[in-house]
Chains A and B, each alone.
Chain A
């Protein structure tokens, strides 16, 4: 115990002495947490449209007005030639071209049918689907309008209708930041913990001080604990700061569930995470190696965690990576507890898995540590 006290004293002293680093590991996550959630908005609006109207009839005018009035679209150019519109499209100035053919109104009345041509920039498939769906819906409603205009007498619309009422639970105003803030917070805490822990140990290797420790009677587990505890504490500190200082004060996200559940999970999660940092440090001899390795892990953790893109949508093999990724569980739990107020009973699986991970990673780290140092 006494040894551990001295080790901790030393670690904290070194961390606090390097005020540059300390400031960075506190300030960078907080600033990012303040700004980045605002960028995470999937809602598609302001679709830039090029309209080419060869018909120039009252009806085509009406359709145009209806599209603009919907609020989803922003007119980029109107009635230049199709080729010119296409150039705008190619240059990424407009997302969508709609061409109204000559005799649009006439064929509607005479042939009872008219065609519209729509070209969508589909590089981002989802955006394209949503954009064209919006446009189709507007056109559909325009279609109904003109039909009604045409046959105002026909009131026998007595067809079967299904009324769909939809409810948005937990976040009725579809507020994006409230979904992203907890997720980004998790990533930031993860980065602080894993990097700092891995780097710190490797630094001692690189500088050679670890040799000095190895000839002393300090037990390996004491040394490891001395390294883990400070970063565990910093992780908890950064999380708290982000949760209360940013999520609560700035974004007004009040955790619905129990803070105790959240913090117990955080504590176990950090142990698992620091275990990974430890593993990285045992496999690297230089800080550069540790960093590249940590960077790689971090990218995978981040992108395969369901933070930005849903895990459900991943191919089967990729889901397995998400399942083996501790970050997935923490993001899941933070979102569940903060946004939905889930209690411990609902989160048993996640608790079990993260505990097993904590044991697994740390056992691996300690075994490997013994072998290599």
Chain B
């Protein structure tokens, strides 16, 4: 044990000596939480919408004001034909075009029927559908008002409660996701590289010939990163509660427990990567290029997992941050206790054990 502590102390020296990396280690998660917590949202806001109003009458004016009042739209008025609209789309300047034909109000008054054309840039299907929906509902609202005074009997009223996030803020969804992402990737990256570095420079051999269990040598490298990650977590949590008004409704102890588990999973993954590669470049390629996009997409905060093809849903079960994301949501936002998240905790524990076992096995083979 005493030896182990000696080794751990040496690792702490390494980490603290390299101040540039240290700065990055701490600065990075902070910057990312702030940046992404505020900037990322899957809401559609301020989309450039072109209004081609050939009518210019009271009715279209009224509708236009409604469009202008909506935060989703950023209105631009111009009369263009289809060719011109296509040009605007091709420059990527507008997302939606709303076309009112001439005599709009006239048609509405005399024929009880008027037409509006919506043309969406569907190269981005999500924005296209959302904007089309928003625009239609504005038009429908206007129509409803026109019909006001008509049959108002037998109406069903709905009382909709938005639970957990009544203001529908994007941060509530994204912050736990970003926490999961940052904790996982930073841990994996740092451990895998620091171990491979010793292999590359040859100091690993030196450690391995010492009269000390080689597995503990490797484990001792993970210890500083474990503590650093806990500090990181604390900073991140402080920022998200103060700056981003994230609640921590459940037990903070439970949150730390679950986070420690995720960090352990990440460290074991880092160990495995470092035991399977022998250059820093390879370790980096696997832990960054291999993991960045899949983790980002399969954690569930970017795209709903339920929508994905089944095969991908199965694959997403292998992503540790997916389980952690569910845990943070349950504990921070819903205020649930361990009875609600024991399954996720169990999964993370099993993952950690499996990863550790494999990496220790691999390690032994290499020594033989």
Interface residues of A (CB under 8 A from B): 18, 20-21, 24-25, 28-29, 32, 35-36, 38-46, 48, 89-92, 108-109, 112-129, 132-133, 135-136, 139, 142-143, 146-147, 150-151, 154, 158-172, 174-176, 178-179, 184, 187-188, 191-192, 195-196, 199, 203, 284-289, 291-296, 298-300, 302-304, 308-310, 312-315, 318, 321, 332, 335-336, 339-343, 346-347
Q: List 20 A-B contacts (CB under 8 A).
A: A21-B281, A21-B282, A24-B289, A42-B304, A91-B340, A113-B157, A123-B172, A125-B172, A160-B112, A162-B115, A179-B123, A179-B125, A288-B197, A291-B189, A291-B193, A292-B25, A294-B288, A308-B303, A309-B42, A312-B48
Bound state CA distance, A144 and B143, in angstroms? 15
A269–B133 alpha-carbon span in the complex (Å) = 36
Of all chain A residues, the one with the shortest Cβ separation from B127 is A310
Give the distance to chain A from B136, nearest Cβ to Cβ, in Å.
5
Residues of A within 8 A of B114 (CB): 160, 162-163
**Chain A residues near B244 (CB, 8 Å)?**
none
- Having A116-B159, A162-B139, one finds 17 other A-B pairs with CB under 8 Å, namely A43-B125, A92-B329, A113-B156, A117-B161, A125-B43, A126-B170, A139-B156, A166-B120, A167-B117, A179-B125, A184-B293, A284-B20, A289-B21, A303-B296, A304-B39, A312-B44, A312-B95
B223 CB to nearest A CB, Å: 17
A313 proximity list for chain B (CB < 8 A) = 41-47
B binding-site residues for A, Cβ under 8 Å: 18, 20-21, 24-25, 28, 31-32, 35-36, 38-48, 74, 86-87, 89-92, 95, 108-109, 112-129, 132-133, 135-136, 139-140, 142-143, 146-147, 150-151, 153-166, 168-170, 172-173, 185, 189-190, 193-194, 197, 277, 279-282, 284-286, 288-290, 292-294, 296-298, 301-304, 306-309, 312, 315-316, 326, 329-330, 333-334, 336, 340
Q: Which 7 A-B pairs have the closest CB atoms?
A: A125-B168, A318-B39, A168-B122, A122-B162, A342-B90, A339-B123, A174-B125
Q: Are A174 and B128 in contact (CB under 8 A)?
A: yes
B74's nearest neighbour on chain A, judged by CB, is A312
Instruction: Tell whether, in the assembled complex, residue B151 and residue A147 are in contact, meaning their CB atoms are under 8 Å apart.
Output: yes
Nearest-CB distance from B308 to chain A (Å)? 5
**Which one of A24, A163, A298 contacts B285 once the chains associate, using CB atoms below 8 Å?**
A24
CB–CB B289/A340 < 8 A: no
Closest to B283 in A: A291
Contact A46–B285 (Cβ < 8 Å): no
How far is the CB of B67 from the nearest CB of chain A, in Å? 13
Complex Cα gap A313–B325 (Å): 24
Which of A45, A166, A291, A314 has the most B CB atoms < 10 Å from its CB? A166
Q: Which residues of A contact B128 (CB under 8 A)?
A: 168, 171, 174
Q: Is the CB of B123 within 8 A of A178?
A: yes
Chain A residues with CB under 8 A of B301: 124
Asked if A44 contacts B123 (CB within 8 A), the reply is no
Complex Cα spacing A298 to B123, Å: 25
Contact B330 A287 (CB under 8 A): no
* Cβ-defined contact, B31 with A118, below 8 A: no
Complex interface: chain A residues within 8 A of B129 (CB) = 43, 174
B193 to chain A, nearest CB (A): 5
Write the nearest CB–CB distance from B275 to chain A, whole angstroms: 15
Which chain A residues lie closer than 8 Å to B121 at the CB level? 169-170, 340
Contact of B44 among A29, A48, A310 (CB under 8 A): A310
